[in-house]
Homo-oligomer: A and B are copies of this chain.
Amino acid sequence: MNHVDTTLYLVTNSDGFSEAEFLETIVQACEGSVTLVQLREKERFGREYYELAVKAKAVTDRFGVPLIIDDRVDIALAVDAAGVHLGQTDLPIAAARRIMGPGKIIGATAKTVPQALHAESEGADYLGVGAIYPTTTKVVTVLTPVATLSEIAQTVKIPVIAIGGLNAGNLDVLYGSGADGIAVVTAIMNSANPKQAAQELRRLTEMTL
């Protein structure tokens, strides 16, 4: 299992940003002490995704923050990212582990205890669990209750990250849940001041978890 600081995980979404604005938002999030950044681009072709990943990696490297690529193991390898995040419809974790080797971070999405146990057994290094609240960045049909997150956190040994609609005003729901960190998109990406938003979320997360 690869160690990863999951305290405050920025998941990006470049929709509606110019490239310069998008990269600047990642800069500010890193200045605000996010501990992990995921590039998540669902609509881009491979080449565009790769080219944006090269630029995002240049930013996160400046801050020593690990960059995770959503879905595309090949792009993660091509830009020498820290790892990949795999949802239930992405490449199986075991297949990704075979081609990435033992040293790369593989994160997985889990909404239930069986999914969590399966992901851990296949070699995942952390789990994203949610959506805790409804979110505007993804179509979510079923929310994952905090009770399920707690059960997952008690069941697996790898870090569990709460995701889905979390912000400074509602993350207290995770108090005592056993979550090891939170992942956010909108609360940082769409903040008027991403650095300050990240700082505040980091402070609250450390207080709460």
Contact = CB atoms under 8 A, between A and B. Distances in A.
Interface in A84-127: 88-92, 95-96, 98-99
B92 A47 contact: yes
B45 A89 contact: yes
Interface centre among A47, A74, A96, A98 (most CB of B within 10 A): A74
A89 B48 contact: yes
A47 B98 contact: no
Contact of A90 (B45, B71, B90): B45
A156 B203 CA distance: 59
Nearest to A84: B74
Interface in A34-49: 45-48
A96 B72 CA distance: 13
Contacts of A71: 46
A152 B92 CA distance: 40
Interface string A40-77: 00000111101000000000000000000001111101
A143 interface: no
Nearest to A72: B74
Contacts of A98: 78
Nearest to A98: B78
A89 to B, nearest CB: 4
Given A47-B92, A50-B95, A74-B96, 10 more contacts: A46-B72, A47-B91, A48-B89, A73-B74, A73-B77, A74-B74, A74-B77, A77-B99, A78-B95, A78-B99
Interface of A: 45-48, 50, 71-75, 77-78, 88-92, 95-96, 98-99
